[in-house]
Amino acid sequence: MSGALDGLARVVIVALSLLATLAIIGSISAIPSGSIEGRLGIGDTRPAADRPVARPESPAIPPAVRDSGATSGEGGISGARPPHERDPIERWLESISYALIAIAALMAAGLFLLWRALGLWRRMADAAER
Q: Residue 120 sits in which domain range?
A: 1-33+88-130
Residue 103 lies in a domain: yes
Residue 21 lies in a domain: yes
pLDDT at residue 52, as a whole number = 63
Residue 23 lies in a domain: yes
**What's the pLDDT tens digit per position in 7-61?**
888 899 999 999 999 999 999 888 877 655 555 666 655 566 666 666 655 556 6
Cβ count near 88 (within 10 Å): 10
What's the rounded Cα separation, in Å, for the pair 101 and 19? 8
What's the rounded Cα separation, in Å, for the pair 102 and 31? 15
What's the rounded Cα separation, in Å, for the pair 9 and 12? 5
How many domains are contained in the chain? Answer: 1
pTM of the predicted model over 0.85: no
